[in-house]
Structure 1
């Protein structure tokens, strides 16, 4: 059973993993309504998978915080974009909420904890006043950098997991195709044997009929 999670449709271009400081995208427009609707739909459809539902709720909150930011708005939005992209990868990497490998489940739970921590830190930093921002400028920069690096690491982990799932799925498809080909060959051989027996019977029938009539004519059993 495949999860029917709708994917977030709004996908701004994101930088490669591992770039530092200014690497995350800095969109200038507000949280798109289509993305909010899509995230809400994912959250509502994730009842069978609580960790993902919690993650979606945290991402929506992070977007809201980014939109209400009094400063570092571009950085906050960039972080929100990255969390949304990670969610898309997670949805792709989860084929069935009832059959999640333990390693994947642990990764999703760690991602959820990271989102909760990110939400808390962003609220603390970007919603504070000017004086507090100036006093804690260096600390805030370090925190933002740490958040970006950890999100990049999570993104890379889920990309690898998603790629592995695709490889496993393709291998399973190839195996099933081979099994089907073997079954078709077996069926063909069985049908061929039946046809051979049928043809032999048909060929013998005229001879049997001739000898039967000859026996009757000669008065012999």
Structure 2
């Protein structure tokens, strides 16, 4: 009974993951390569059901891939279809990794009994390696996301500084008054920048 309940929970979790992936796939707000990787993970689930070797490990790869895509979607959906360059590069690298995993899964599906026995250890090692690569891919994505947020905050602060400087240059204030106000603006921009850094550090 307990095993049946556990199996049902796993099945429900997988079904929920696939629903989320299909929602990302259909979203008009999702970055196209992210929609592509969501579609690929759906294929992972489909292929893993048809495998006769390393089925458990491959299902785990599919589950981890789904979680990775959901995490990326959660952290980037506010950007819309245009992601920062650093984040876009990470997603493109993940897309490349997923294509490689798809090829591996398809190869497993085509194996006959003799090939499955002969390649058992090799295939197990490759499954473990893909697990490691997924972890690295998510770590790199997180780093690039943090870098992009930092860059965007710096660019925003600079735009604000230039805007205020332009206003001051055309104002009727005295030179000393302009310098005093500009110093206050720069100090405020610096505080905002530090607050964003603190928020990023807390988040990651």
> For the superposition of Structure 1 and Structure 2, which TM-score range results when normalised by the shorter chain?
0.5 to 0.7
2:133 aligned residue (150, 153, 157): 150
* Normalised TM-score (structure 2): 0.61
State the match for 2:31 in structure 1. 49
- 2:23 corresponds to 1:60: no
State the match for 1:121 in structure 2. 104
Alpha-carbon displacement from aligned partner over 1:31-86 (angstroms, at most 9, x marks no partner): 73322222111100046621011111100000111122212111011101110111
- 2:95 corresponds to 1:100: no
Inter-partner Cα distance in structure 2 for 1:49 and 1:29: 29
C-alpha change, 1:122 and 1:168, in structure 2 (3 Å) is same
RMSD: 2.9
1:1-221 residue pairs with structure 2 within 5 A?
Answer: 29-30=10-11, 32-46=14-28, 49-94=31-76, 95-126=78-109, 128-162=111-145
Rg comparison, structure with higher value = 1
Alpha-carbon displacement from aligned partner over 1:162-215 (angstroms, at most 9, x marks no partner): 55677889x79xx9xxxxxxxxxxxxxxxxxxxxxxxxxxxxxxxxxxxxxxxx
Please list every run of 5 or more consecutive structure 2 residues that lacks an aligned counterpart in the other structure. 1-7, 158-204
C-alpha change, 1:135 and 1:29, in structure 2 (3 Å) is same
Inter-partner Cα distance in structure 2 for 1:110 and 1:35: 22
Moved over 6 A (4+): 165-169
Q: Comparing 96-105 with 36-45, which one deviates more in the overlay?
A: 96-105
C-alpha change, 1:107 and 1:116, in structure 2 (3 Å) is same
Please list every run of 5 or more consecutive structure 1 residues that lacks an aligned counterpart in the other structure. 1-26, 176-221
Matched residue pairs, number? 147
Inter-partner Cα distance in structure 2 for 1:28 and 1:138: 30
Q: Name the structure where helix makes up a greater proportion of residues.
A: 2
Inter-partner Cα distance in structure 2 for 1:166 and 1:77: 34
